[in-house]
C-alpha cells in the first residue's frame, strides 16, 4: 500500500468524505467547510463519525481552529507536501486539535494554554531540556539521592570525568546508560569517554609506577653508582676493634652464616682469591661474597608455609642483618655504598612492584588511542596475592598508595554499569522518540484509533520530524548523560505541575475511544499527571 493510499484509508476510517471527483474537489469542499465553520453546517456537514460529532457539538470551535489550520497547512508546504488534499487535511486536523483545546478552555484558559505549551515545548531548547530532565528523573531509582550524588561527585583521577550515571550510582540511570550504549551515536560518545578515563588512569598509574624506560634507566644508574661505591669500599682499610671481633665470633656459631661462608670460599676461589685472603674482617670482597650467599638463602626461604619455615626465615634475616651491621662498623665506606644502593633501590622496587600490577591489571588489546585498558576484574585478581600487597605497602608512601586507591575507586565507579540491567526501551532514543511525543501531546493511542492515527500523523509527526525534534532531543539526552552537573540541574529543575492533554479535550467533546494513553508510563512530555 502506498503512503497516499494509507493516508486515504486513514481519512475514510476517521469519517472524512470519500473523494468524488478527485483530490482538488475534496480539498475545495473542506476549505469551504472551514470557512463556514461558524454556521454549524460547514465542516461538520461534510464529515461523518467521531469528527462530525465533535465539530457539531461545538460549532464555535470551528472558528477557533482556523488559525491553526492555516499554520499547519504552511508546515505541510514547507515539508514538501505539494498535493492540495494533503495540505488541506493537515490544516483541517490542526483545526480539529485546537477547537478541542478550546473546549478545555471552557474549564479555564490556563488549561488551553498548557495544551499549547505541551505541543510547542519540544521546539525550544529549554523545552527539550525540561523533557530530558523529566525523563531522567522518572527513570532514576531514587531521584533525589541521584541528584545529590551527581552534584557532589568528586573527580577521583585527574582527567577521568564520570558520566552522569556513574556519578549518581543510581541503578535506574545506570540502566539507561547501559541501554543507550546500543545507540550508535551514544555508543561512540561513551566509548570516547571510556578511552579518556582509561588514559587518565594510566597517566596517574605511571606517575607511581614510572615507565619501563624510566625503570631501566634507574637500574642502570644504580649499577654504575654501586660499582663505583663498592670499588671504593673494597680498597678501604677496615678498622676492626675488639668489639667487632666479638660480634664476628657470635656469627660463626650460626649454621646459616657458616653455610654462606663455605659457599663464599668456593666462589672466591673461582675468582682466583687465595685462602689467606678469605677473611671478611679484612677483605671487603670476600665479605661481599658471604652477603651474596646469605641473600640466596633468604630468597630460597621466601613464602614459607609452615611455622618452622617462617622461624627459619626470621633467623636468616637476623643473621644477615647482624653481619651487615658488622661490615658497616668496620668499613664506613661500605656503609656508604650500601646506603646509596638502598636509596637507589627504593624507587626501583616501587616501579617494579607497581608495574607488575599494571601488567597484570590491563587487557592484552590496545584501544584506538594506543593504550592498554585497565580492567577492574584483572586488577582485583592481581591484588589477591598477599605477598604483592605487602610489598606494595613496603615500597610506596601514603601519597602514592592514595593515588592507587583513587584509581581503583574510579575503576569501581565506572564498573557499576556491569552489574545492572538496561532500562527496557533505552537501546535508542525511543524513550524520547516520536511515539512518546505523540502520547504526551495527543494523549491518545494512535495505533488503535483511526482519528488519533490521522491526527498524530499530520498534526504532530510531520512538524516534529520536519523540525528534527527527535534528533535534537537525543542530543540533549547525550549531553546530559555525559555531564553529571547538567543532568543534576535538569532533574532538579523538574517541578510538579498539571497540564491538560488533547485526550482530555477530546474526552470533553464526548469523542468515544479517544482517551487511553494520556497517562502512559513511557510518556515524556507534560501530561495531566503531576510529574
Q: How far apart are CA 65 and CA 278, in angstroms?
A: 114
The per-residue pLDDT for 14 is: 45
Same domain, 50 and 141: no
Residue ranges making up the domain that contains 479: 120-154+162-182+425-508
CA 162, 168, 171: angle at the middle one, nearest 5?
115
Residue 225 burial class via C-beta count within 10 angstroms: exposed 0-12, middle 13-18, buried 19 and up: middle
Same domain, 102 and 126: no
Grid coordinates of 110: 490556563
Same domain, 70 and 125: no
The per-residue pLDDT for 140 is: 93
Same domain, 61 and 100: yes
478 part of a folded domain: yes
For the ranges 127-131, 168-172, 414-418, the maximum mean pLDDT occurs at 168-172
Q: How far apart are CA 78 and CA 91, in angstroms?
A: 13
Q: How many residues does the chain have?
A: 531
Same domain, 32 and 82: yes
Q: Would you say the C-alpha torsion 349, 350, 355, 356 has a positive or negative sign? A: positive
The per-residue pLDDT for 472 is: 83
499 part of a folded domain: yes
46 part of a folded domain: yes
Same domain, 73 and 144: no
Same domain, 90 and 57: yes
Mean pLDDT of 144-157: 96
How many domains does the chain divide into? 2
79 part of a folded domain: yes
Q: 306 falls in which pLDDT band (50, 70, 90)?
A: confident
Same domain, 450 and 482: yes
**What does the DSSP 8-state code read for residue 459?**
I
243 part of a folded domain: no
259 part of a folded domain: no
CA 284 to chain centroid, in Å, comes to 60
Same domain, 19 and 56: yes
Same domain, 135 and 91: no
Q: 54 falls in which pLDDT band (50, 70, 90)?
A: very low
Same domain, 24 and 74: yes
Grid coordinates of 523: 510518556
Encode pLDDT of 355-378 as tens digits.
Answer: 999 989 998 888 898 999 999 999
pTM of the model: 0.66
456 part of a folded domain: yes
Same domain, 13 and 90: yes
Encode pLDDT of 106-125 as tens digits.
Answer: 444 444 455 556 666 777 88
Is the pLDDT confidence value at 522 over 50?
Answer: no
Higher per-residue confidence, 48 vs 341: 341
Mean pLDDT of 497-505: 43
224 part of a folded domain: no
Encode pLDDT of 226-275 as tens digits.
Answer: 999 988 988 888 889 999 999 999 999 999 999 999 999 999 999 999 99
Is the pLDDT confidence value at 387 over 80?
Answer: yes
Is the pLDDT confidence value at 503 over 90?
Answer: no
Amino acid at each position: 500500500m502506498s503512503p497516499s493510499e494509507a493516508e486515504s484509508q486513514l481519512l475514510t476510517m476517521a469519517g472524512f468524505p470519500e473523494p468524488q471527483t478527485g483530490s482538488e474537489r475534496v480539498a475545495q469542499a473542506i476549505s469551504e467547510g472551514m470557512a463556514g465553520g461558524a454556521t454549524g453546517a460547514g465542516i461538520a456537514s461534510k464529515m461523518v463519525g467521531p469528527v462530525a460529532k465533535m465539530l457539531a457539538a461545538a460549532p464555535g470551535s470551528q472558528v477557533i481552529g482556523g488559525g491553526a489550520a492555516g499554520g499547519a497547512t504552511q508546515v505541510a508546504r514547507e515539508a514538501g507536501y505539494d498535493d492540495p488534499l494533503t495540505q488541506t487535511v493537515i490544516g483541517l486536523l490542526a483545526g480539529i486539535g485546537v477547537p478541542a483545546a478550546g473546549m478545555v478552555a471552557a474549564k479555564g484558559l490556563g488549561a488551553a494554554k498548557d495544551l499549547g505549551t505541551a505541543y510547542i515545548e519540544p521546539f525550544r531548547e529549554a523545552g527539550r531540556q525540561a523533557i530530558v530532565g523529566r525523563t531522567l528523573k522518572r527513570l532514576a531509582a531514587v531521584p533525589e539521592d541521584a541528584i545529590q550524588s551527581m552534584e557532589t561527585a568528586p573527580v577521583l583521577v585527574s582527567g577521568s570525568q564520570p558520566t552522569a550515571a556513574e556519578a549518581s550510582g543510581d541503578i535506574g540511570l545506570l540502566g539507561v546508560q547501559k541501554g543507550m550504549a546500543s545507540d550508535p551515536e551514544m555508543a561512540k560518545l561513551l566509548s570516547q569517554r571510556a578511552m579518556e578515563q582509561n588514559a587518565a588512569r594510566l597517566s596517574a598509574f605511571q606517575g607511581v609506577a614510572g615507565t619501563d624506560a624510566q625503570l631501566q634507566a634507574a637500574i642502570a644508574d644504580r649499577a654504575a653508582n654501586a660499582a663505583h661505591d663498592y670499588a671504593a669500599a673494597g680498597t678501604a682499610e677496615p678498622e676492626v676493634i675488639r668489639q667487632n671481633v666479638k660480634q664476628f665470633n657470635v656469627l660463626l656459631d650460626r649454621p646459616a652464616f657458616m653455610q654462606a661462608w663455605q659457599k663464599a670460599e668456593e666462589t672466591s676461589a673461582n675468582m682466583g682469591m687465595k685462602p689467606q685472603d678469605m677473611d671478611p674482617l679484612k677483605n671487603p670482597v670476600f665479605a661481599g661474597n658471604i652477603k651474596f650467599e646469605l641473600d640466596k638463602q633468604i630468597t630460597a626461604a621466601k613464602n614459607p608455609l609452615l611455622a618452622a619455615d617462617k622461624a627459619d626465615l626470621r633467623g636468616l634475616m637476623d643473621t644477615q642483618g647482624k653481619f651487615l651491621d658488622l661490615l658497616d662498623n668496620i668499613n664506613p665506606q661500605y656503609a656508604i655504598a650500601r646506603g646509596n644502593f638502598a636509596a637507589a633501590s627504593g624507587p626501583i622496587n616501587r616501579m617494579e612492584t607497581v608495574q607488575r600490577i599494571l601488567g597484570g591489571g590491563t587487557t592484552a588489546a590496545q584501544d584506538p588511542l594506543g593504550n592498554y585498558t585497565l580492567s577492574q576484574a584483572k586488577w582485583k585478581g592481581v591484588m589477591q596475592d598477599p605477598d604483592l600487597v605487602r610489598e606494595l605497602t613496603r615500597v610506596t608512601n601514603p601519597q602514592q598508595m592514595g593515588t592507587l586507591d583513587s584509581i581503583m575507586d574510579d575503576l569501581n565507579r565506572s564498573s557499576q554499569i556491569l552489574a545492572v540491567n538496561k532500562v527496557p526501551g533505552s537501546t535508542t532514543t525511543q524513550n524520547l522518540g516520536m511515539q512518546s511525543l505523540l502520547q504526551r501531546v495527543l494523549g491518545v493511542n494512535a495505533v488503535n484509533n483511526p482519528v488519533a492515527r490521522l491526527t498524530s500523523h499530520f498534526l504532530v509527526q510531520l512538524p516534529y520530524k520536519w523540525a528534527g525534534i527527535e534528533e535534537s532531543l537525543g542530543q540533549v539526552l547525550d549531553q546530559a548523560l555525559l555531564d553529571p552537573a547538567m543532568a543534576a540541574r535538569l532533574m532538579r529543575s523538574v517541578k510538579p505541575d498539571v497540564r491538560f492533554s488533547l485526550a482530555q479535550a477530546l474526552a470533553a467533546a464526548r469523542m468515544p475511544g479517544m482517551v487511553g494513553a494520556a497517562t502512559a508510563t513511557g510518556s515524556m512530555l507534560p501530561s495531566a499527571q503531576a510529574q
